Amino acid sequence: MTQTTHYFKSILDELSRAADLLSEEQAEKLVKQLIATNKIFVAGAGRSGLMGKSFVMRMMHMGLDAYVVGETVTANLEQDDILIIASGSGETKSLVSMAEKAKSLGGKVIAVTINADSTIGKLADQVIKMPGSPKDQSENAYETIQPMGSLFEQTLLLFFDAVILRYMEKKGLDSDTMYGKHANLE
Ligand SMILES: O=C([C@H](O)CO)[C@H](O)[C@H](O)COP(=O)(O)O
């Protein structure tokens, strides 16, 4: 086994441990909200934002009215729409302002974060707690061999993909129906 392959397996072990720490109840609540809500917005900065984008893409494939905040073509948030903020630290400044704005418009904020006690966690109507180490690892005891927020960002991607599978199960969707909505001008 090469060193890189060894690292790959260590990352998988970390992700496997992370799965055991996720809350089924919080995940199920999110799926129910996706079913009940009119419009869904997802925001995140940097790599956390990239994971959010991939979630929005799949929601679009499932026929949901979902948007990436900050993209050029995005709808307006209205009363009772949901804003999902993916932030490991829960302290990213632009996202704090966004949470405040969404709440002032009557939206519901869902924070997906490591830190429920963060500014965004406290502003949120609902927190989905992720395990892992935030960008600033100095005050976090969670063990990972990975740098910065990598474990959080990977956990986010897999969590969102698991939520997609649960939604598909509930709605009887499959890959074929979803490919029907996939970009065909690629
Ligand atoms: O891009 C990021 C960085 O590479 C950390 O691993 C972060 O996702 C970005 O800085 C946003 O941070 P959080 O809001 O704390 O997730």
Given the residues 28, 91, 153, 169, select the one marked as catalytic: 153
Ligand 1 contact via 87 beta carbon (within 6 Å): yes
Ligand 1 contact via 39 beta carbon (within 6 Å): no
How far apart CA 42 and CA 84 sit, in angstroms, is 5
CA of 135 to the centre of ligand 1 (A): 6
Atom 14, ligand 1: residue with shortest CA distance: 87
The ipTM of this complex is: 0.97
Cα 112 off chain centre by: 6
- How do strand 66-68 and strand 82-86 relate by DSSP bridges? unpaired
How far apart CA 146 and CA 165 sit, in angstroms, is 27
Which candidate, 133, 166, 136, 164, places its Cα nearest to that of 18? 133
Q: What are phi and psi of 125, to 5 degrees?
A: -80, -25
Answer left, alpha or beta for residue 46, where phi above 0 means left and psi between -120 and 50 means alpha: left
Cα 110 off chain centre by: 9
CA of 88 to the centre of ligand 1 (A): 7
Could you list the pLDDT tens digit for every one of the 186 residues in the chain?
689 999 999 999 999 999 999 999 999 999 999 999 999 999 999 999 999 999 999 999 999 999 999 999 999 999 999 999 999 999 999 999 999 999 999 999 999 999 999 999 999 999 999 987 666 555 556 689 999 999 999 999 999 999 999 999 999 999 999 999 999 998
Annotation marks residue 186 as catalytic: no
Radius of gyration of the chain (CA): 17
CA of 147 to the centre of ligand 1 (A): 11
CA of 172 to the centre of ligand 1 (A): 34
pTM: 0.95
- The residue whose two tokens read 């790959």 is 8
* DSSP letter, residue 138: G
Atom of ligand 1 at shortest range from CA of 48: 8
* DSSP letter, residue 62: T
Alpha-carbon torsion, ordered 44, 45, 51, 53, to 10 deg: 70
CA-CA distances (angstroms) from residue 137 to 3, 118, 128?
Answer: 24, 15, 20
